[in-house]
Amino acid sequence: MGMSRVSYEEKLKHAKNPTAQRLLLCMLEKQTNLCASLDVGKISEVLSISEQIGSDVCMVKIHADALSDVSIDALLTLQELSEKNNFLIFEDRKFADIGSTVRMQYAEGPYRIVEWSDITNAHILPGPGIIEGLSEVGMPHHRGLLLLAEMSSHGALMDEQYRKTAYEWAEKYSEFVIGFIGKGRTEAPQYLIMCTPGIHLEALSDGLGQQYQSPIDAIAAGTDVIIVGRGIYGSGSAQTASRHYREIGWDAYTQAMRG
């Protein structure tokens, strides 16, 4: 509030983490702050939609454990596609265990997330050991982590004190932590990246606790990256919708920088 907004260029200059640098550079080059959340049930669908919308997004977010036909091979194909189309991959894993367990879940298990996902995220509930465990795996691969400061869903337990703790730990571990999942509040460390899910142009909720805000409101409230799922793949044409959200998101950002 009252403080001037930090541009993507400024964030890029201050970013210590290579994935944060790649994301910000990609956003600036492609002029997009749109992340598509492709919760479409099959990795084959994720691949075909990613190909259609690749030029409009800076990031594709998935839940690998919610894709029925998932395989490491297909995830590596998504990685190739992301390199070809210049976007990043975000596995929305929401780690929530002790450091030694998340280290295994991140590196091994059926998904080997660290091998193909540029960005993943974690709850801070278990304490800072979760960040340390993930960073042991992620840092050698030059990956980046987002901390959940807030959730979009109704009744979420993250209060102001919880958010402040997320912000403090992010600064403490800022070699690895690139930013947050939140609603776009501006008291977060200014040089880190704020990503906001629960974005839709028409819907207000989904009947299961999701609470939507418009991309314009989220960006006006300080977010850097808008995350859109059903607003894109639930519409008639993912391509038309992603183009639309991309234009609205980028216009809102340039307007916020002017104002």
Give the CA distances from residue 121 to residues 29, 152, 206, 219, in Å, rounded to whole numbers and listed in that order.
Answer: 25, 15, 23, 21
Q: How far apart are CA 86 and CA 84, in angstroms?
A: 6
* Cα–Cα distance measured from residue 129 to residue 60, given in angstroms and rounded to the nearest whole number: 27
Measured between alpha carbons, how far is 208 from 45 in angstroms, rounded to an integer?
Answer: 24
Q: Give the nearer residue to ligand 5BU in terms of CB position, either 8 or 180.
A: 180
Provide, rounded to whole angstroms, the least separation between the CB of residue 198 and ligand 5BU: 5
The answer to whether 87 touches 61, Cβ cutoff 8 Å, is: no
Which residues contact ligand 5BU (rule: CB under 6 A)?
A: 37, 39, 63, 92, 148, 151-153, 181, 197-198, 210, 227-231
Residue with the CB atom nearest ligand 5BU in the bound state: 229
CB of 80 to ligand 5BU, least distance (A): 23
Q: Which residue, 180 or 250, is less far from ligand 5BU as judged by CB?
A: 180
* Residue 112 or 230 with smaller CB distance to ligand 5BU: 230
**What's the CA gap between 11 and 21, in Å, rounded?**
8
**DSSP class per residue in 83-122:** HHHT-EEEEEEEE-S-HHHHHHHHHSTTT-GGGT-SEEEE
Q: Least Å distance between CB 61 and ligand 5BU?
A: 6
Cβ distance to ligand 5BU smaller for residue 21 or 102: 102
CB of 244 to ligand 5BU, least distance (A): 14
Q: Are 6 and 192 in contact (CB under 8 A)?
A: no
Shortest CB 52 distance to ligand 5BU, Å:
17
Nearer to ligand 5BU, 24 or 91 (CB): 91
Write b or e for each residue in 27-64: b if 16 or more Cβ atoms lie within 10 A of its Cβ, otherwise e. bbebebbbbbbbbbeebebbbebbeebbebbbbbbbeb
Q: 91 - beta bridge partners? A: 62, 120
CB half-sphere exposure, 12, CA atoms < 13 A:
12
Kindly list the catalytic residues: 94
Q: Shortest approach of ligand 5BU to residue 31 CB, angstroms?
A: 22
Q: What is the CA radius of gyration of the chain?
A: 17
Q: Which is nearer to ligand 5BU, 24 or 181 (CB)?
A: 181
